[in-house]
Structure 1
Amino acid sequence: MSRQKRLVLFFMTAPLLLGGCFEEKKPPEMGAMPVKVAPPTFKRLTEWNEFTGRFRARERVEIRARVSGYLESVHFTDGGQVKKGQTLFVIDPRPYQYTLAKSNAQLELAKKDYERAKNLRAANAVSQQDLDEKYQAFQSAKSDADTAKLNLEFTQVKSPITGKISRKQVDVGNLVTGGDVSGTLLTTVVSQDPIDFYIESSEQDVLKYTQPDKTLTNYSVPLGAQPLYIKLQNDKDFTHTGKVDFIDNELDAETGTVLVRGTLANAQGKLIPGFFGRARIPATAEYEAMLVPDSVVGTNQTMKFVFVVNDQNMVEPRPVTLGPLHDGSMRIIRSGLQKTDKVIMTGLTILRPGIKVTPQSADAPSPDTQKNEKK
């Protein structure tokens, strides 16, 4: 072959060879992404609203001196139990015994003067004015005697209620001053059984009870008819039970709350006025709830959703209405899902609507047997 022919052949075949070297290669098609799916789970449960509150004694009395004098004796143990009518303190009664004796003597004299004046008036020996003056003197003496008797009784300071007493504020031998509000404070007594628990409930929470959503099968019963469950700071569970017995008649404009009261038995006196506690009040009747793991719930600017696999094995975001969290990990679904939906449990961070997936069955998450829902 001549050199000229070889050059012609080279220039004819070179583009074909170079074209083969730079031919664009198509990326291999990726297979459908495998994901774990499970249907929603169902469980009968009761939803709860939780509140922080404080215990208060149903009755609390400040024991004050009603008459003045020297404190003669104390008849209780600091911090002990006292009964209604029990004598707690004795104020020196001798000045009041003397006053009573004097008042009784004056009363007897005034009574005799009045009786004598009545007889004289019947004989027209004295005027009606004289009789009226004797009557007024008799009534005044009677009032003085009654006051003296009452003051003598006040030297015996008694407990008006049954309960637990505080320490004495005044020692024997000290002078106490009598009075209503200004009288010397001697001690305090609080009732123990029953004991009250006060909650400041938000307007929103109260509306859940007063105007419940009756389109739901689990709508709440009116506030005031519920049991109340309380735990103290060192309790693991809500072991103290009572009932709601009072809702205030207005909302506090400063705090935006309504005062709610529960009452509990406290025969052992373990619940102390002033203690804090956490309270649970049923928010719904028992019903069958739909639940999914809270970790599969996604959010965007406008809605909450979960990813499901549709009939074409494609990812589909499903808008849902959420209820409260159950047992810390399961989320109650109010609406948006069907019991047959395949909820995607894995790969949530890389899923996109419309992509093809290969669903693989996962064990449906089993909700705990407890019936504790938090807001």
Structure 2
Amino acid sequence: MSAAAFRLALATSFILSTPALAQQGPPTVVVANPIEETVVDWDVFTGRFQAVESVMLQARVSGYLNEIHFQEGELIQEGQVLFEIDQRPFDAALDEAVATRDVYIAQRELAQIELDRARELVERGARPQSEADQALAEFQQAEANVALAEAGVTRARLDVEFTLVSSPITGRISEHYIDVGNLVVGGPNGATELANVVSVDPIEFVFTVSEADYLRYARLEGLTIPRSNRDTPRPVYIQLMDEDTWEREGQLSFVDNQLDPNSGTLLGRASLENADGLLQPGAFGRVRVQGSPEYQALLIPDDALLADQSDQIAYVVNGEDVVEIRTVETGPIHRGMRVIRNGLEPGDRVIVSGLQRARPGSPVAPQTEDLTAQLEE
């Protein structure tokens, strides 16, 4: 192709494309009015589950372990016998205590006879009063010996009962920490740990809030956190680490009476049902606590927001179809949309799609969309 022919082709191409460029017009964007809705802010804290009741089983008497009456990890009932220590030494001690009591009872009966005889002789003048006084003292000593022996029998019977270690609560038991045939050390100090029992239903969720959060709660009108379980419980919602919804409802049952001076946090505790036993003590989760009273807010898709250094901005199309910038104050996500506290009006046309084609101060061709269908339940 000659140079003249190339220039002719190039000119022809430019002439043909010029009308298309002229007809392109403003870029198309999708706009929508913010949704007005009553919302509540929720604060989320991480915590862990703990049993309402937890008991470490220990024996009150020492002896060799004879039997274990449970399967590890099973649910047990209050009063169920779990461990049995060899009773034979304690049965022998009980027999000895009973025999000793019988001896003292016989001595008391003899002392009663001697006291009656001494009093009769004193009344006749055949014996001095000192002999009656001596007989009375011996009878009183015999009575004290009987009372002491009765206490010994009671103590021996208790020792026999203590050879059967039962659960004081209903719950799930751990593995047994000692096997049959081993020596069990009992008593208040240094007792052998046999197993652990934790209650299952209900269960508690323990978490901490910062001092700033507590002060904010305490100053919200009508939303003061209860300072003890004597106040009206507040509803909270709990989520396991692998869950996306907040379907587990509980009650805020306790808030501590002072902040931890080391961490600057306040302990809170919620109680919730655990009928299926899924929630295990020690497991981590999240709790959602009401952080504000109800208020009116506007909702827009989170994708409709842009970051401008430390500010959040939205593009709004005015009445002349020209793009404007609005700096907004944002809140949490509510029903899948971002809460806008300030910066937008209900009738504003916010660009929700095509942001990359919009330029502040430039005209656009808006297409209206309804956001209601995008709200999550």
TM-score normalised by L of structure 2: 0.75
- Cα separation, partners in 2 of 1:181 and 1:334, compared to 1, 3 Å: farther
Q: Counterpart of 1:227?
A: 235
Q: Find the aligned partners of 1:93 and 1:321 in 2 and give their Cα distance.
A: 74
CA contact (8 A) 2:78 2:167 kept: yes
Q: Find the aligned partners of 1:52 and 1:147 in 2 and give their Cα distance.
A: 50
Give per-residue Cα distances to partners, 1:270-317, cap 9 Å, x unaligned: 222122222323445666531123344455567544444556766654
Q: Does 1:177 align with 2:185?
A: yes
Cα offset, 1:206, TM superposition:
3.1
Cα offset, 1:210, TM superposition:
2.6
**Which is worse superposed, 236-245 or 356-365?**
356-365
Q: Does 1:90 align with 2:97?
A: no
- Cα separation, partners in 2 of 1:236 and 1:294, compared to 1, 3 Å: closer
- Cα separation, partners in 2 of 1:37 and 1:238, compared to 1, 3 Å: closer
Q: Does 1:360 align with 2:366?
A: yes
**Which is worse superposed, 264-273 or 76-85?**
264-273
Q: Find the aligned partners of 1:39 and 1:299 in 2 and give their Cα distance.
A: 20
What is the RMSD of the two structures over their aligned residues, measured on CA atoms?
3.2
Query: Letter of the aligned partner of 1:109 in structure 2?
Result: V
Query: Letter of the aligned partner of 2:98 in structure 1?
Result: N
Q: Counterpart of 2:44?
A: 50
The structure in which a higher percent of residues are helix is: 2
**Which is worse superposed, 276-285 or 307-316?**
307-316
Q: Does 1:340 align with 2:340?
A: no
Q: Find the aligned partners of 1:281 and 1:367 in 2 and give their Cα distance.
A: 28
Give per-residue Cα distances to partners, 1:82-110, cap 9 Å, x unaligned: 11111111111111111111111212222
- Cα separation, partners in 2 of 1:228 and 1:75, compared to 1, 3 Å: same
Q: Which runs of 5+ in 1 are unaligned?
A: 1-30
Q: Counterpart of 1:241?
A: 249
Query: Letter of the aligned partner of 2:339 in structure 1?
Result: I
Q: Which runs of 5+ in 2 are unaligned?
A: 1-24, 120-131, 227-231
Which aligned pairs between 1:147-162 and structure 2 lie closer than 5 A?
Answer: 147-162=155-170
Q: Counterpart of 2:9?
A: none
Q: Find the aligned partners of 1:350 and 1:261 in 2 and give their Cα distance.
A: 50
Give per-residue Cα distances to partners, 1:148-183, cap 9 Å, x unaligned: 111011011111111111122222222211122411
Query: Letter of the aligned partner of 1:179 in structure 2?
Result: G
- Cα separation, partners in 2 of 1:365 and 1:103, compared to 1, 3 Å: same
Q: Counterpart of 1:266?
A: 274
Cα offset, 1:116, TM superposition:
4.1
Give per-residue Cα distances to partners, 1:50-97, cap 9 Å, x unaligned: 222211111111111211111111111111121111111111111111
Q: Counterpart of 1:255?
A: 263
Q: Find the aligned partners of 1:192 and 1:222 in 2 and give their Cα distance.
A: 27
- Cα separation, partners in 2 of 1:192 and 1:285, compared to 1, 3 Å: same
Query: Letter of the aligned partner of 1:370 in structure 2?
Result: E
Q: Find the aligned partners of 1:78 and 1:100 in 2 and give their Cα distance.
A: 33
Q: Counterpart of 1:290?
A: 298
For 2:186, what is the secondary structure of its paired residue?
coil
Q: Counterpart of 1:126?
A: 134
- Cα separation, partners in 2 of 1:334 and 1:225, compared to 1, 3 Å: farther
Percent of aligned positions that are identical: 37
TM-score normalised by L of structure 1: 0.76
For 2:134, what is the secondary structure of its paired residue?
coil
Q: Does 1:113 align with 2:120?
A: no
Q: Counterpart of 1:143?
A: 151
CA contact (8 A) 2:39 2:334 kept: no
Q: Find the aligned partners of 1:51 and 1:144 in 2 and give their Cα distance.
A: 56
- Cα separation, partners in 2 of 1:175 and 1:33, compared to 1, 3 Å: closer
Query: Letter of the aligned partner of 2:369 in structure 1?
Result: D
Cα offset, 1:34, TM superposition:
7.3
Cα offset, 1:242, TM superposition:
2.4
Q: Counterpart of 1:76?
A: 70
CA contact (8 A) 2:305 2:314 kept: yes
Q: Find the aligned partners of 1:61 and 1:98 in 2 and give their Cα distance.
A: 31
Q: Does 1:59 align with 2:66?
A: no
Q: Find the aligned partners of 1:200 and 1:339 in 2 and give their Cα distance.
A: 38
Task: Figure out how many residues of one structure are paired with residues of the other and give that number.
Answer: 333
Q: Find the aligned partners of 2:33 and 2:375 in 1 and give their Cα distance.
A: 19
- Cα separation, partners in 2 of 1:233 and 1:75, compared to 1, 3 Å: same
Q: Counterpart of 1:198?
A: 206
Query: Letter of the aligned partner of 2:234 in structure 1?
Result: Q
Cα offset, 1:257, TM superposition:
1.9
Give per-residue Cα distances to partners, 1:213-234, cap 9 Å, x unaligned: x4xxxx7574664333333234
